[in-house]
Amino acid sequence: MTLLKSLIYTILLIFLIEILGLWIVITYEFNLNFLTLNSRLINGLIELIIIGLFIYFYKNGKLRKPINYQEKYVVRGIVLGLLFPFFQILLSMIYFWDIPTGVNFLDFKFENLRNLNVIASILFFPISEELFFRNFIQNELHKKYKPIITIFAVAVLFGMIHIMIGAIFFESVSLNYHRVYIAFFGGLISGILYYKSNSIIPSIIFHMIWNLMANIMI
């Protein structure tokens, strides 16, 4: 796979994500409150199924087995997932060039976990995104490019899907370059974990814990 082809696949994924979100408009019209309130949960499940099927058929049913990994990389994924949200706060300070006052890093908001949409954030999206960007894109690019180029390029592509392209069409939504910026650094960590461990498991675990921590901290 070339870098151009990986960019095209990522753009197609972005449009898929935006198209999946259009059904929410229908729920507003028909007052389907349960579907509206749990839209991220439903979208996350649909996205996971579509990406899983795409990779399965792209590789002719030969998915790369995730069982060959060393436990130390799983531990690293857990630790990095716990620590990255704190680093994320530092990255945000640099991005906004502002040091907030009165921030309590240990003020965890566990009540945020009561929302069913959190399941998508800490389960469906991490699995689908790691399958697509690491198990598919990064794995294919490794066959043609050096690891440092591949990891950096995939981190950029991973950041791109967080830009919220729908803002171009809806005035109520704004382009979020800050999310892209944060996702890029998270993508670097995931990419390195995948490369070092030669398995998708550590990067998925990192991504899940990262999203879990972000939901209760930020």
Query: Over the stretch 85-96, which tens digit does the pLDDT of each residue have?
Result: 889 888 988 888
CB 120 within 8 Å of CB 41: yes
207: Cα within 13 Å, side-chain hemisphere: 28
Rounded CA separation 157/49 (Å): 21
First to last CA, the chain: 37
Full-model pTM: 0.86
List the chain residues with pLDDT less than 70: 23-37, 61-69, 99-108, 110, 164-175, 218
Helix (H/G/I), strand (E/B), else coil: 64: coil
pLDDT of residue 73: 93
CA–chain centroid gap for 28, Å, is 27
Candidates 212, 157, 113; CA nearest to 1 is 157
